[in-house]
Amino acid sequence: MNLLKITLFTTLLVAISGCATTHDSRILQSGNQVELRSMQTRSFDTEDKNIVVRNVISTLQDLSFVIDKADADLGTVSATKLSGYKIRMTVTVRPQSGESVLVRANAQYNLKPIENPNVYQDFFSVLSKSLFLSANSVE
Amino acid sequence: MIKFRYILIAVVLGSSGCATTVPEDAFKLSDTSLQERQVQSRFFETKNEVELLSAGIAVLQDMGYSIDETEKNAGVVTASKTVDATNGGQVAAAVFLALMGGGNVAIDSQQTIEVSFVTLPSKLNRDGYLSRVTFQRVVINTQGMVSRAETLNNEELYSEFFDKLSKSVFLEAQKI
């Protein structure tokens, strides 16, 4: 009996401390920024930033997102998907030297940032079909 | 039995601690996505995107929405409203349960509806714009908990919106 209680409390302690992060790291999200940035970014061979912004918007709508904000000059689009869960996503489109634009997406699932590369891969694959352009990885 | 209960509690605590994974289909086009796009979109033969956007704003105002964001260069208008969410069926069921001694049952109380209205130059026809509208809502129950968070896919809702938009575009065109 005692042994079982000890097991329970140990598990409880591990469960609590396992998720415990200090306040600072959650605000500034320390982690591997380079890896995160590369999974969240693709480049597209086009000069027309506005077309890319508009295709980002229609791609998000195809994926059942509702657009929250958009700014064509800055190239930012934010959207939310509700389907029993909540995903909030921001996509930015920036012109790059040469004839291409950089598209970066970051998303949050309920209370957690999404750090699964497959999720971003899925998004860029749908966007690339919408643009009729291939999504190129960026180092 | 007590032993089993402790083990069960330990397992639940251990597994639920940090588990949050994105559903696999969240960023994949669903089989119905093309059909949804057709339900949520209409084509308007106009070269004036701003006029189409402002017609959309007028319709949303008619429906009691407040405009949250507008960006004419990207063709985006977003709006929202918070309204009553009680429905007769739920109230009747709650009253029935209370009469049967079921105690206080939470029923839907209010809902916040968010809309995005988007215009897009048509890829097929240079002389027109596509307009696409999407609705989603979060429903809160009488205990203050979220009871539903969903995208609205009711076909009639969208056709009614576009009926009103068509009239609005017509009215907007007839400037006095």
Residue-wise pLDDT for B48-73, tens only, equals: 899 999 999 999 998 999 999 999 99
Residue-wise pLDDT for A50-99, tens only, equals: 999 999 999 999 999 999 999 999 999 999 999 989 999 999 999 988 78
Distance of CA B152 to the CA centre of its chain: 5
**Domains of chain B by start residue, with CATH:** 42-170 (3.30.310.80)
Residue in chain B lying closest to A86 (CA): B149
* Cβ atoms of residues B142 and B87 within 8 Å: no
Please give the pLDDT value at position B4: 53
Number of inter-chain CB pairs under 8 A, A vs B: 139
Determine, for residues A116 and B22 on separate chains, whether the beta-carbon distance falls below 8 Å.
yes
Determine, for residues A71 and B18 on separate chains, whether the beta-carbon distance falls below 8 Å.
no
Shortest distance between the Cα of B73 and any Cα of chain A, in A, equals 6
Of chain B, the percentage scoring pLDDT greater than 90 comes to 47
Please give the pLDDT value at position A13: 61
Instruction: Please report residues of A whose CB lies closer than 8 A to that of B23.
Output: 85
**Domains of chain A by start residue, with CATH:** 33-133 (3.30.530.50)
Shortest distance between the Cα of B92 and any Cα of chain A, in A, equals 25
Shortest distance between the Cα of B129 and any Cα of chain A, in A, equals 12
pTM, two decimals, is: 0.78
What is the C-alpha separation between B9 and A32, in angstroms, rounded? 34
Of chain B, the percentage scoring pLDDT greater than 70 comes to 85
Determine, for residues B114 and A84 on separate chains, whether the beta-carbon distance falls below 8 Å.
no
Among B11, B20, B22, most A C-beta atoms within 10 A, so best to mutate, is B22
What is the C-alpha separation between B85 and B76, in angstroms, rounded? 27
Shortest distance between the Cα of B100 and any Cα of chain A, in A, equals 31
